[in-house]
Amino acid sequence: MANNILLADEETHFFGDVCKNFDYAAQFTKHDAGLLDQIKSCNSVYRFRFPIRKGDGFEVIDAWRVEHSQHQSPTKGGIRYSEMVNEDEVMALAALMTYKCAIVNVPFGGAKGGIKINPKNYTVQELENITRRYTVELIRKNFIGPSIDVPAPDYGSGEREMSWIADTYATMNPGQLDAMGAVTGKPIALHGIAGRREATGRGVAIAIRECVSVAEDMTRIGLTTGISGKRVIVQGLGNVGYHSAKFLAEFGAIIVGLCEFEGAIYNADGLDVEAVFQHRKNTGSILGYAGAKKEFKNSMEGLEQECDILVPAALENQITDTNVKKIKAKIIAEGANGPTSPEAETIFYSKGGLIIPDMYANAGGVTVSYFEWLKNLSHVAFGRMNRRFEETANTNLVNMVEGITGVALTPMQRSTIIKGASELELVNSGLEDTMIRSYHEIRETYKNTEKIDTLRTAAFVGAINKIAVSYKNLGVWP
């Protein structure tokens, strides 16, 4: 094990861990073995290689796209750019996407992609060439399209890469009206949607806030109710970790620790997330930040400091049976996919802890990707057609109330009441409603199904039941 954040490799058997969790949850359902096997299996695994020009020579790139389940169409899932990516990992992430979409009631099947590179080792032009060639390979095999399979950003990729994919797909499909719906996570200027960039982190923060609002559960694990004053350690200062920490702080939590691959910092009185982010941007490291009381060159030590909530938002397999006994948090909220091994989860629950599972906790990204896909299919921004109508109706209502009561509202009060919702406000509202409703669906299964002992199992049970209904209604062809 390295001294910094653990990396995925061929020995992690990530897909096996997902299947192990599935099999355990399946015993709490009443579906036949064949149907359960269909739900668990990856329907399509496409592994391919392609060359690119590198300097005066060539380099061969390994890549994957896995479509786990077509019980709903299209399939949906990000593309990971990492030199540690492998087929097992992509299959596991595709399966988790299937269950994740079912948990938050988003009508997609699960998929995932991977390109085996370290983006830091390539120029922007080379990355563009790799991304466009990857997209063409997917087009050739019918593994991408607004009604087939819709990629999104993941570890190592972002809006820039999604723009290249969108342009490549549109170029290769001239005249297709819904071409921009073939990929989500695009910039606003290229038919993206407000709130997508921060959606996963915001969803993690909402999930935690909802979890700690349940008095019965907090009493059982020895915490007070409510997010205010809760001490949080976040692992990872990328898109998910940064926004998770940012919104948790806005909700009233205290960010006491931050961990990255170069090390970790801690201050029991709290860290300024934005200041740490800027420090790392300027220096290349979170170490050396003036507001830290403790520093750890071994990043994993940062996870073991005093806190109430730990948010692993980096890569999978971060909390294992070798370090879980040193974790002092009462709640682990999985911002990353698969950060806690099954063995570690068993130990953590035996210590009286609670885990908010990744399939639910980080579903904010796919939820808002769904909104973006709907926007691309409808070809109109949310709020555009009704915002002025709402403001006019609200203005007339306020004028009538002022006339009847004789009380004039202040300009600030009037603007607050009158203002129609923007696209960002509608997106955030839809995301919040999705995360709140989904948490209580999971918790109801957890509380009301005999012998279910974790929220993860409860989430799996709910997902399996929903997917089973879809398959039964579809039937089998021919």
| C-alpha span between 249 and 201 (Å, rounded) | 12
Distances (CA, A) of 423 to 309, 332, 368: 32, 32, 12
Of the candidates 201, 206, 102, 246, the residue with the CA atom closest to the CA atom of residue 435: 206
Catalytic residue among 40, 76, 100, 112: 112
Neighbours of 285 (CB within 10 A): 14
| C-alpha span between 351 and 213 (Å, rounded) | 21
Q: Is residue 415 exposed (0-12), middle (13-18) or buried (19+ Cβ within 10 Å)?
A: exposed
Neighbours of 262 (CB within 10 A): 14
Of the candidates 367, 377, 368, the residue with the CA atom closest to the CA atom of residue 423: 368
Q: Partners of 115 in the beta sheet?
A: 63, 81
116 included as an active-site residue:
no
In our burial notation (b when 16+ CB lie closer than 10 A, e otherwise), range 287-309 reads bebeebeeebeebbbbbbbebbb
Concatenated DSSP letters of 208-223: HHHHTT-HHHHHHHT-
| C-alpha span between 89 and 66 (Å, rounded) | 10
Dihedral sign from CA coordinates of 282, 286, 288, 291: positive
- In the sheet that holds 44-54, the strands lie side by side as 44-54, 57-67, 109-115, 75-81, 149-153
Residue 80 one-letter amino acid: R
| C-alpha span between 33 and 4 (Å, rounded) | 41
Of the candidates 358, 378, 330, the residue with the CA atom closest to the CA atom of residue 456: 358
Whether 231 and 274 have beta carbons less than 8 Å apart is answered as: no
Whether 383 and 426 have beta carbons less than 8 Å apart is answered as: yes
| C-alpha span between 96 and 98 (Å, rounded) | 5
Which residues does the annotation mark as catalytic? 112
